[in-house]
Chains A and B, each alone.
Chain A
Amino acid sequence: MELTTDVMLRGTAWSQVIDSFSLIFKTRTHYMLYLLSMSIGIMYDQRIDKPDEAGEEPRSVPRNVLRNNDNGKLDFMFQAAILSTETEDIDENTRLELAFGENIDYNKIGLLTQFANYGITKLVELIGNSPVESMENIKNFLASTVEGRNLDVDTLPDDILLADDAY
């Protein structure tokens, strides 16, 4: 994947997660959280184009960090995402062409960042009062996801109780 610019991580969620998890994801905080959030977004098959902002200074993943650590991961992520997503209304041939063709007009990193923008909103929910609490939350979330329990409804809003009488 050709990377000509840094990836901008805009919005409140990114700021909150980066600030809270910087001691846990210490090696390359922004890159690590970008990758993790992206995979969460792809898993949920949810994207956010414009994340909620409150005037935060955007964070970024420098393109050289992406290039040095990528090793084909982003291409693979994009292929898996574009071939499986239902958020993009395109036919199968176009998907295959985008995944494996030479088309450079499509903003591949943009799509991945939109998935990451969704994923980061899930990570916000895992911020604890201390690093250990956050670690425990992250572990529980990821473990239950991988073990298959998280793909169904995770929690239900309290409003549902009001509907109880109808049944």
Chain B
Amino acid sequence: MVNELSRRSVLSGLMAGVAGLALTGPAFALNTEQARNLINDLVNEINNVINSGKPETAMYGDFEKIFIRYADVPIIARSALGVAARSASAAQMNAFTTAFRGYLSRKYGKRFREFIGGKLEVESARAVKSFYEVKTTAYLRGEAPFEVVFLVSDKSGRDLFFNMYIEGVNMLATERTEIGAMLDARRGNIDLLIQDLKTAG
């Protein structure tokens, strides 16, 4: 009897699981096509901004919104802070992530300024390890086309990019070096770092 019951519950559990998978599978499991579409949308939004003819200061604000919508900012922030993130309190992590987001938006907003009048085009997408690699080509005025790679994951619960490589130079490593140097200069004081990040970039 006990066996019978448990077998039935296991079976029904399995069935529910299968049904659940069938229903929710496509929505949750990120695939190559979705990763590609995500970056396609991202690239279209960037292209719209850099060809909008708006004043540059207005473009920075637009880039910030795009960045918040498409990037997994918390994991980028945690990774940039590195080992110091381990000893930080939850409140410090929150404050750092917010300050870091503003800093990154300003910094990369300025970089994307060089893209004005140019465009990005999605070339290919494929699964690598447990995430997706989406390759794009940047066509800028007066320069040979070059490669920009976005890495996309759904591990945050949403489909977001967590790193980008511009001609091999990646944002995570660059920011870890930069934030590490800033932290060293402040003798490891995270609160001081957060304070200064609010105006940096």
- A and B assemble together: no
Interface residues, chain A, with chain B CB atoms under 8 Å away: none
